[in-house]
């Protein structure tokens, strides 16, 4: 693992909501801490309603984690563009986040511990 990246099981059960709808709930989430950045909760894909996500063409590069791919969240009231990211082929040092999704908290997109 990269010297300044720590990945550990996130304690308890976590939920992600968008526009009031629950997108997923998991007791198997991971918490990724990187340097001085706020920790990020990653949810296993199996615990997320993937039918509410729409893959976009957006990608970004992280020198420590690899290529991130993005999804938009489709809610009844609006679309949250590129609000979800995932590392489908992460670098070996962070391989634990493969098949996990992270969410940008914004407006009505919330990640909370139950």
Tell me the pLDDT tens digit for each residue of 13-41.
999 999 889 999 999 999 999 999 999 99
- Enter the pTM of the model: 0.94
Q: How confident is the model at residue 2 (pLDDT cuts 50, 70, 90)?
A: low
For the chain, which residues make up each domain, given as ranges? 5-113
Average pLDDT rounded to a whole number, residues 35-52: 96
pLDDT greater than 70 at residue 3: no
pLDDT of residue 107: 83
Average pLDDT rounded to a whole number, residues 88-100: 96
Q: Please, which residues have CB within 8 angstroms of residue 83's CB and are 6 or more apart in sequence?
A: 18, 71, 72, 73, 103, 104, 106, 109
What dotted CATH number matches 5-113? 2.170.150.40
In angstroms, the CA 98 to CA 19 distance is 26
């Amino acid at each position: 693992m990269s010297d300044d990246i720590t990945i550990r099981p996130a304690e308890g059960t976590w939920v992600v909501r968008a526009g009031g709808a629950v997108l997923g709930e998991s007791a198997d989430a991971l918490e990724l801490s990187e340097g001085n950045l706020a920790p990020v909760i990653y949810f296993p894909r199996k615990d997320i309603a993937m039918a509410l996500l729409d893959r976009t063409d957006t990608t970004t590069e992280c020198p420590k984690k690899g290529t991130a791919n993005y999804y938009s969240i489709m809610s009844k009231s609006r679309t949250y563009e590129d609000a979800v990211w995932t590392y489908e082929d992460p670098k070996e040092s962070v391989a634990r986040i493969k098949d996990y999704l992270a969410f940008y908290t914004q407006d009505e997109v919330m990640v909370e511990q139950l």
